[in-house]
Amino acid sequence: MFDSLSDRLTGALKDLRGKGKLSDADIDRTAREIRLALLEADVALPVVRGFIAKVKERAKGAEVSAALNPAQQIVKIVNEELVEILGGETRRVRYAKTPPTVIMLAGLQGAGKTTLAGKLGAWLKKNGHTPLLVACDLQRPGAVSQLQIVGERAGVPVFAPHPGTGVGGEGALGTSSDQGPVDVARDGVAEAGARHHDVVVIDTAGRLGVDSEMMGQAAAIRDAVDPDEILFVLDAMIGQDAVGTAQAFADGVGFTGVVLTKLDGDARGGAALSVRQVTGVPIMFASSGEKLEDFDTFHPDRMASRILGMGDVLSLIEQAEQHWDVQEAEAAAAKITQGELTLEDFLEQMLMIRKMGPIGNLLGMLPGAGQMKDALSQVDDKQLDRVQAIIRGMTPAERDNPKIINGSRRLRIANGSGVTVGEVNQLVDRFFEAKKMMAQMSGRMGMPGGNRRNN
């Protein structure tokens, strides 16, 4: 996500490091490089112009700061202006005072609406809501059953226009198949009210290009159900076309929030950086993969920080909080500081971390991850799979006390887990090294339980 933009921007800013004072020429040169980086990332020209003008103006007028050197001051300005064009404050869903809250999805065909309906359903559910998905894309063959599939995966019921299909898993009546999308939307909202679903997500039809019939249909659905939020779903990979498409939807249907999809496939990211500025509507969610969990609230400040290679530690912490059991983690930490860590604990910790997602994504959120891309690309989930297999191939006694793992045991473990003896040796050796290091660290840092030294 934003890799090349991130590289170019950090490169431009790195040149300033070590300079005691910045001349106007330094600032102009940096501004030029930033401008090129943004244009190359497909950011719309008016947005680039506005951004550069702001950065230059602020950089030249920057007050001397005691805390920051000139280069840091420019980074701070670029960061703040990036946050600004990405929308400033995080925009959250505005729920209706009287449920159900109606959220309508609009966008071109293939933008990722149906997939998003499932993701949004799962996300709402996780946040304590009782959503209902409504299938109003009656244009694209298979769209209704696709929504039913994602709904099932997300564990969220679907209101579909086929007789007998009804509300997924609840045995309710469906609407008749001769109804149009507007009727289905209206019936879906009524159904949600009757069955106490507090949020309704309406999937609508898209076309490959913008056309008036599609806009007319979306506008008719909007008028029939009076949505609390209309989310415009935008494929971030369509590059420069994003701005024109967004404008057409803004004029034809109007929307209150933007969802960017396919950020995983988009190295340029210009859409993200243009759409808010051009339409004035905030980006609310970002989707970065085909799986249900590849989806989150869009935070302008965190995104800016990632683009500038400053990492996204807040999101990492949030993910950890969602997946980690605090008591278990604390118990493990205490064991580590007491030098009592076993391979069983290690395996548990590893499984807990892996619940948070692919390891490459997690490491990518760390500050400086951009600069360490090559090294990070070598850390892959397959390696972790092997480590897991090796530990699983050990007996409980071996996991508890790896010292007993002699030559013949190593051979047995290697054969049992499909790896070489060398790999088993490496894991066991590294485990002992890590254990020793952790014991030393806890001693030095004076952690409770560690063997403190007075130095």
Contacting positions for ligand GDP (CB under 6 A) = 107, 109-115, 206, 261-262, 264-265, 287-290, 294
- The tokens describing 292, both together, are 């249900």
CB of 147 to ligand GDP, least distance (A): 8
Which residue's structure tokens are 């988009």? 266
203 among annotated binding-site residues: yes
Give the Cα separation of 290 and 293 in Å (integer): 8
CB of 115 to ligand GDP, least distance (A): 3
Give the Cα separation of 213 and 220 in Å (integer): 10
CB of 261 to ligand GDP, least distance (A): 4
CB of 265 to ligand GDP, least distance (A): 5
Give the Cα separation of 259 and 403 in Å (integer): 53
- Closer by beta carbon to ligand GDP, 175 or else 288: 288
Strands of the sheet with 131-136, listed across from one edge: 158-159, 131-136, 199-204, 101-106, 229-235, 257-261, 283-287, 295-297
- Closer by beta carbon to ligand GDP, 236 or else 310: 236
Give the Cα separation of 103 and 148 in Å (integer): 18
- Closer by beta carbon to ligand GDP, 122 or else 405: 122
Cα end-to-end span (Å), the chain: 45
110 among annotated binding-site residues: yes
CB of 107 to ligand GDP, least distance (A): 6
**28 Cβ contact list (under 8 Å, min separation 6):** 56
Parallel, antiparallel, or unpaired for β 131-136 and 101-106?
unpaired
- Closer by beta carbon to ligand GDP, 109 or else 440: 109
**236 Cβ contact list (under 8 Å, min separation 6):** 242, 260, 261, 262, 263, 265, 266, 269, 271, 272
82 among annotated binding-site residues: no
351 among annotated binding-site residues: no
261 among annotated binding-site residues: yes
- Closer by beta carbon to ligand GDP, 126 or else 444: 126
| Residue in 267, 243, 379 with CA at minimum distance from that of residue 8 | 267
- Closer by beta carbon to ligand GDP, 274 or else 287: 287
| Residue in 445, 293, 415 with CA at minimum distance from that of residue 354 | 293
28 among annotated binding-site residues: no
Cα angle: 114, vertex 183, 208; to 5 degrees: 40
380 among annotated binding-site residues: no
112 among annotated binding-site residues: yes
- Write down how long the chain is: 455
CB of 86 to ligand GDP, least distance (A): 18
- Closer by beta carbon to ligand GDP, 1 or else 132: 1
262 among annotated binding-site residues: yes
Parallel, antiparallel, or unpaired for β 131-136 and 158-159?
parallel
CB of 286 to ligand GDP, least distance (A): 8
107 among annotated binding-site residues: yes
Parallel, antiparallel, or unpaired for β 158-159 and 101-106?
unpaired
Give the Cα separation of 63 and 433 in Å (integer): 50
Integer-rounded Cα Rg, in Å, for the chain is 26
CB of 374 to ligand GDP, least distance (A): 23
CB of 248 to ligand GDP, least distance (A): 16
206 among annotated binding-site residues: yes
395 among annotated binding-site residues: no
CB of 310 to ligand GDP, least distance (A): 24
**410 Cβ contact list (under 8 Å, min separation 6):** 421, 424, 425, 428
**Amino acid (one-letter) located at 436:** K
- Closer by beta carbon to ligand GDP, 66 or else 208: 208
- Closer by beta carbon to ligand GDP, 131 or else 450: 131
**312 Cβ contact list (under 8 Å, min separation 6):** 302, 303, 305, 306, 365
- Closer by beta carbon to ligand GDP, 22 or else 111: 111
Q: Which residues are annotated as a binding site for GTP?
A: 107-114, 203-207, 261-264
Q: Which residues are annotated as a binding site?
A: 107-114, 203-207, 261-264
